Amino acid sequence: MTGGAVPGPDGRLRCPWGLSTEDYVTYHDEEWGRPVHGDDALFERLCLEAFQSGLSWITILRRREGFRRAFADFDIASVAGFGEADRERLLADEGIIRNRAKIDATLANAKLLAGWDPGELDTLIWSYAPDPATRPAPRTVSDVPAVTDESTALSKALKKRGLRFIGPTTAYALMQACGLVDDHVTGCVARGVK
């Protein structure tokens, strides 16, 4: 899809991808691009974006509750305490994506983040939010980049601190999902909504 905002069944204009399924309509209208703060909330998004790598976002979105159950609602301290039995449980859990590398990265990242000061992950991630005045509103989804200088820098900063499975594309998807950038197209009902 390369077009601009299109009317949905309710007549409201939305990004074209936000109309492909009812799950997407809800996610698009109520969540994507809205500011997310808090270490545990950002840890969840970081993990889900990593699990999405190589898959469609709808696959992750439809398993989100399964991920939340499996990973203790993404409470960093709880996940950091997971041991080998938990790892085996996760590898057998059909409610999530059972990718060994992604599960191992999630567990390692939680252990690492548990040693950070409260608010440190939030502060680090949000320090890479670009100035909105420097970003023109995309007219079409083809105007939306997959990677930016900021997402590349964020990826490098997270990797330097020891976090795994967070490349520049995943970092940019995180920035979009968590409201660091507003990539809703011009005319979209969700553009500029915080």
0.85 exceeded by pTM: yes
Q: How far is CA 78 from the centre of its chain?
A: 20
Q: How far apart are CA 141 and CA 179, in angstroms?
A: 17
Q: Could you give the residue numbers annotated as active site?
A: 27, 49, 57
Q: Which amino acid is at 132?
A: P
- Cβ atoms of 110 and 82 within 8 Å: the answer is yes
Q: 27-37 pLDDT, tens per residue?
A: 999 999 999 99
Q: 113-139 pLDDT, tens per residue?
A: 999 999 999 999 999 999 999 999 999
